[in-house]
Chain A
């Protein structure tokens, strides 16, 4: 299984939740473990950082199996700090996915990684500053930005799918050349 395919499946497992009897049968932990495993299978810049960012995310997702929505902005002080750290580590993880992906597909030009990471950072900034501003404006901005992020998240799957095809083609080409 190539890098992009593992990342894609891992993200899909994270994206979809199937609750049966109060239990998520597709816990995020499995998806994150797969993403972490994908990083271990490549020798590329920032793959190790990708592993480093994924490990705490796996632990956080594991904790949420027993206590759903543990890391939220309405939790206690330490859990709020943990929630913010989880968000920042997720951005680091995504940035590592893009860096490794670029390395694998030989730096194919795309604006999407910059836009996607930029919006995620903006969302974090908004969370940090916005909650001290007018509550209605803040909530409306968060809803609007969340909708935009969701749309781009769906595009992220398509982006990875295309990169998966490219990676497969490159591997076949290398095999033929050798």
Chain B
């Protein structure tokens, strides 16, 4: 018994040190990551970094003086205030929240990012920068097949009209174009000369993947084209699929100054 009591005293001391150390890692306020207002899906999606052991839960989002309440998974057995982890690590988790918009007119489309305020259940608040997103129709292209996964994204298109591609760019430094093929033939990137496409030509674009800062975060590929005498841009949307790593999450926390 005496040996056991000594062992328990040692375990108790270890637990005390463990609890105190863990507590020093805890965030008083969540760290907002990123968000967007999806005008196609009629929803607001955003994420924040919080403590893994006792995550902050969103009460509502304040935007332009209006309040928006998050979607909670409905279940008779679900506890109120459940959070959906995008990634969960030792000390911190990335929580992805979604707020449905019930009417198209609820928020007017905008060009520049807007700032909202996330209000948490415990009274903490955090500013969040929201960008606008809407899916753009591509009358020049028809999607024939696509694949998506943690390896990257790939999609095969068919040209519906003749046009010339002047440039292919991705406005996101997390992702690179891996392959750009026309009718099965590899094209050098950046393009050395404009590419003329005829109707029914096949275009294959394969990209690498990048860290998704919230669930269903899109990135966009832009094809700068000339169609007849008109210049234009074809915007292709895809999703990022890589879960934020622990190092990435810890770096965000350090950069925020919360730790």
* A interface residue numbers (CB < 8 A to B): 45-46, 49, 73-75, 77, 80-81, 84-85, 88, 91-92, 95-96, 99, 117, 121, 124-125, 127-129, 131-135
Whether B19 pairs with A92 at a CB distance below 8 angstroms is: no
Determine the main DSSP class of B at the interface with A: helix
A177 to chain B, nearest CB (A): 30
A95 and B6 alpha carbons, distance in the complex (Å) = 13
Q: Which residue of B lies closest to A83 (CB)?
A: B19
B residues 1-58 near A (Cβ < 8 Å) are 1, 4-5, 7-8, 11-12, 14-16, 18-23, 52-54
A128 and B12 alpha carbons, distance in the complex (Å) = 9
Contacts of B22 in A (CB 8 A): 131-132
Find the residue from A81, A91, A134, A135 having the highest chain B CB count within 10 A: A135
The one of A45, A74, A128 in contact with B14, judged by C-beta atoms closer than 8 angstroms, is A128
Number of A-B contacts (CB under 8 A): 62
Whether B18 pairs with A128 at a CB distance below 8 angstroms is: yes
A116 to chain B, nearest CB (A): 12
Does B202 belong to the interface (CB within 8 Å)? no
Whether A133 pairs with B90 at a CB distance below 8 angstroms is: yes
Whether B53 pairs with A77 at a CB distance below 8 angstroms is: no
Does B119 belong to the interface (CB within 8 Å)? no
Whether B14 pairs with A95 at a CB distance below 8 angstroms is: no
Contacts of B14 in A (CB 8 A): 125, 128-129
Known contacts A81-B19, A84-B15, A128-B14; decide if A121 and B1 are in contact (CB<8 Å).
Answer: no
A92 and B12 alpha carbons, distance in the complex (Å) = 12
Contacts of B8 in A (CB 8 A): 88, 91-92, 121
Whether A74 pairs with B53 at a CB distance below 8 angstroms is: yes
Q: Which residue of A lies closest to B20 (CB)?
A: A77
Whether A125 pairs with B11 at a CB distance below 8 angstroms is: yes
The one of B4, B11, B19 in contact with A80, judged by C-beta atoms closer than 8 angstroms, is B19
Whether B23 pairs with A77 at a CB distance below 8 angstroms is: yes
Between A and B, 13 residue pairs with Cβ closer than 8 Å are: A45-B1, A46-B1, A49-B1, A73-B53, A77-B20, A77-B23, A81-B16, A81-B19, A85-B12, A92-B4, A132-B18, A132-B22, A135-B52
Whether B11 pairs with A124 at a CB distance below 8 angstroms is: yes
Does B88 belong to the interface (CB within 8 Å)? yes
